[in-house]
Structure 1
Amino acid sequence: MTRLSHWLGAAGAMALVGLATPAAAAGTQAGTTITNTVTVNYKVGGVDQTQQTASDTFTVDRKVNVTVAEVGTTTTQVSPGQSNAVTTFSVTNLSNATLDFALTVAQQTGGAGAHSNTDNFDVSNVRVFWDSNNSGGYDSGDAQVAYLDELAADTARTVYVVSNVATARVTGDVAVVTLTATGREGLGVGAQGVALVQTTTANTANMDTVFADGQGATDAARDAAFSAKDDYTVLAAALSVTKVSKPISDPVNGTTNPKLIPGAVVEYCIAVANATGGATASSVDLEDVVPTMTTFDSAYGIKLNGTVTGGVCNSDGTSGGAYANGTVTGQLPSVAAGSARTLMFRVTIN
Structure 2
Amino acid sequence: MKLNKTLTALAVSASFGLSAQAFAGGTVAGTDITNTVTLGYTVSSTAQTPVESASGFKVDQKVDMTFTSDTATASSVPGEVVTLAYTLTNTGNKATAYVLALTNNGNADHSPQAVTFYPTATDAANNTNALANNKVSALAVDASTTVYAKTTITNNANIGNGDTIEMLATATALDPSDTDGSNLLAQDIADDKNANLTTEYVIFAEAASVNNLKYTGAITAQTDRNIVTAEFTDPADATAVPKLAIKIINDVVCENGLTDASTNDYSQGGAEVGTCPDVAAANQAAYRPKAIPTSMAQFTYSAENTGAVTANAVVFSEQLPAEYAIDSLANATLAIDAANQTLTTVTDAPDAVNEVRYDDTTGTITIYVGDVAKDEVITITFTAIVE
Aligned partner of 2:169 in structure 1 is 179
Identity across matched positions, percent: 26
CA distance in 2, matches of 1:167, 1:136: 28
Counterpart code for 1:151: L
Q: Distance in 2 between matches of 1:123 and 1:224?
A: 23
> Aligned-pair distance for 1:96?
0.7
Distance 1:7 1:49 in 2: 13
| 1:324 corresponds to | none
Map Cα deviations across residues 161-186 of structure 1 (whole Å, 9 max, x no partner).
32225398754233211112221222
Cα 1:186–1:47 change in 2 (3 A) is: same
Decide whether the 8 Å contact of 2:103 with 2:111 is kept in 1. no
**Equivalent in the alignment of 1:128:** 116
1:93 to 90, 93, 98: 90
Task: Give the aligned CA root-mean-square deviation in angstroms.
Answer: 4.3
What are structure 1's unaligned runs of at least 5 residues?
111-119, 240-274, 286-326, 329-334, 339-350
Match of 1:53 in 2: 52
Determine helix, strand or coil for the equivalent of 1:166.
coil
Q: Does 1:200 align with 2:193?
A: no
One-letter amino acid of the counterpart of residue 141, structure 1: T
Does residue 1:27 correspond to 2:26, yes or no? yes
Query: Which residue of the partner structure matches residue 147 of structure 1?
Result: 135
- Please say if 1:158 is aligned against 2:149: no
Residue 196 of structure 1 and its aligned partner are, at CA, apart by: 1.6
Once the two structures are TM-superposed, the CA of residue 124 in structure 1 deviates from its matched residue by 4.7
Q: 1:215 to 1:81 in 2, by over 3 A?
A: closer
Contact 2:30 2:59 in 1 (8 A): yes
1:235-261 alpha-carbon deviations (Å, 9 max, x no partner) = 34689xxxxxxxxxxxxxxxxxxxxxx
Residues 251-298 of structure 1 show CA distances to partners (whole Å, capped at 9, x for unaligned) of xxxxxxxxxxxxxxxxxxxxxxxx9994589xx99xxxxxxxxxxxxx
1:259 counterpart residue number: none
**2:41 paired residue number:** 42
Q: Distance in 1 between matches of 2:226 and 2:306?
A: 16
| Match in the other structure for 2:63 | 64
Deviation at 1:81, TM superposition (A): 3.9
Deviation at 1:224, TM superposition (A): 1.2
Aligned mates of 1:139, 1:105 — CA distance in 2: 20
| Distance in 1, Cα, partners of 2:182 & 2:24 | 25
Query: How far did residue 100 of structure 1 move?
Result: 1.9
Amino acid at match of 1:107: N
Contact 1:149/1:191 (CA < 8 Å) preserved in 2? Answer: no
Does structure 1 conserve the Cα–Cα contact (< 8 Å) formed by 2:36 and 2:54?
yes
> 1:68 & 1:170 partners in 2: Cα distance?
29
Q: 1:191 & 1:129 partners in 2: Cα distance?
A: 13
TM-score calculated relative to the size of structure 1: 0.55
For residues 43-81 of structure 1, the C-alpha deviation after alignment (integer angstroms, 9 at most, x for no partner) is 322333223322222111111112222114x31332344
Tell me by how many angstroms 1:199 deviates. Answer: 3.4
Q: Which amino acid aligns with 1:174?
A: T
Q: Which has the larger radius of gyration?
A: 2
The answer to whether the 8 Å contact 2:20/2:28 transfers is: no
Query: Contact between 2:94 and 2:141, CA under 8 Å: does it hold in 1?
Result: yes
Give a deviation string over 1:210-235, Cα, whole Å, max 9, x none.
21111111111111111221122223
With over 3 angstroms needed to count, the CA separation of the structure-2 counterparts of 1:37 and 1:90, relative to structure 1, is: same
Q: 1:78 aligns with which of 55, 76, 79?
A: 76
Amino acid corresponding to residue 231 of structure 1 in structure 2: D
In 1: Cα distance, 2:27 partner to 2:136 partner: 22
- Determine the C-alpha separation between the residues in 2 that align with 1:162 and 1:100: 21
Secondary structure in 1 matching 2:189: coil
Residue of structure 2 equivalent to 1:269: none
**Length, aligned pairs only:** 242
Q: Which amino acid aligns with 2:170?
A: T
- How far 1:207 moved relative to its partner? 0.9
- The 1:109–1:30 alpha-carbon spacing in structure 2 relative to 1, beyond 3 Å, is closer
Letter in 1 for 2:73: T
Counterpart check, 1:105 vs 2:73: no
Structure with the greater relative contact order (CA < 8 A, sep ≥ 6): 1 or 2?
A: 1
Flag structure 2 segments of 5+ consecutive residues without an equivalent.
1-6, 233-304, 314-351, 354-371, 376-387
Aligned equivalent of 2:207: 214
Which residue pairs with 1:320 in the alignment? none
SS at match of 1:143: coil
* CA separation of 1:94 and 1:337: change in aligned 2, threshold 3 A: farther
Q: Which amino acid aligns with 2:139?
A: L
